[in-house]
Amino acid sequence: MTEHQNEKLSALVDGEQDRDTMQALVENASHRERWFRYQLASAVVRGDAVAGHRFDISAAVAAEIAKSPVHAPASSSLLSAMQRWLRRSSWMRPAASMAVAASVAVVTVVAVQQLQTPEDVINPAPQGRSVTTLETMPMGGVVNPVSFNTVHSPTEQQDVGLERRLLQSFMMDHQQQLQLSQQQEAEALEAELKGSPDQPEPGTQ
């Protein structure tokens, strides 16, 4: 399937309501669906369907909308919860300057699951490749299952632990650096707006 057809298909998935495009795509879309079903079926047989295959994302949204109240949730509870937060004074203690560090538990691996099905044993992937699924938990965000491919022998269980820690370590740090860079930029912009920053950047003179 070519790139531009995929582009059109994603427009369809996204619900863009362009009749001509839709009609022109019906045939290709049916191809794609057939292909997708096939992929999914084989994934289920292999046992890795949970490892990140995207089911119909629109259906997931529709289901969530059906569940959620028509209006934004009554936010009096929200506010009281917020005020409870503010009344807790733990943060009034001197701020942890180590900051975001452990605090923003942005990415927390909550589960690791080895997917080693009989079929994999019968028909092993090259180089003893096995699929591990893990879930990450961004702060206030989505818990995201993904397929995690590493090259290792299925018997080296301790490696999974190391890789998981490594992955978590990098992912968490990445999120922290992103947040810190937002602060860095906001400060830089503020300094720029003030005209002459008190402390010029080293090397700019």
Partner 1 sequence: MMRVSKAMLAVVVLAWLGALPASFAWETAGQGETTQSGPQTVTEQQIRDGVAWFNRMQQALRHQNFNASMVQVQGQRVELFSWLHGRTDEGTELELLYSLNGPDSYLVRQDQQVSYFHPMISPYSMQSRALFGPIPSAFYEAYSEIERSYSAVAMGGGRVLDRPAKHVRLIPRDQQRFSYSLWLDRESGMLLRMATVAPNGDVLELVQLTSLELSAEVPSDLMKMHNSPMPPVIRDPNVDSSIEHEWRQTWLPEGFMQVRANHHRLPMTGIAADYFLYSDGLTRVSVYVSQDPRASTSIQYEGLESLYTHRHRDFSVTVVGRLPMETLQRIAASVAR
Residue 155 carries which DSSP code?
T
The smaller minimum CB distance to partner 1, of residues 2 and 122, is found at 2
| 114 lines the binding site for partner 1 (CB under 8 A) | no
Question: Mask 18-57, x = binds partner 1 (CB under 8 A)?
Answer: x-xx------------------------------x-xx-x
User: Under rule CB under 8 A, which residues in 122-181 are in contact with partner 1?
Assistant: 136, 139-151, 159, 162-163, 165-174, 176-181
37-to-20, 30, 34 alpha-carbon distances in Å: 25, 10, 5
Smallest gap from Cβ 103 to partner 1, in A, equals 4
Q: Nearer Cβ to partner 1, position 121 or 193? A: 193
Among 41, 45, 61, 125, binds partner 1 (CB under 8 A): 61
CB of 83 to partner 1, least distance (A): 8
Q: Which is nearer to partner 1, 117 or 168 (CB)?
A: 168
* H-helix segments, 17-75: 19-46, 57-67
CA angle, residues 14, 20, 24, in degrees to nearest 5: 85
The span from the CA of 39 to the CA of 173, in Å, is 34
Q: How far is the CB of 126 from partner 1 (least distance, A)?
A: 15
To partner 1, the closest distance from the beta carbon of 116 in angstroms equals: 18
Residues 6+ apart with CB under 8 A from 150: 129, 132, 159, 163
**Whole-number Å distance between alpha carbons of 9 and 4:** 9
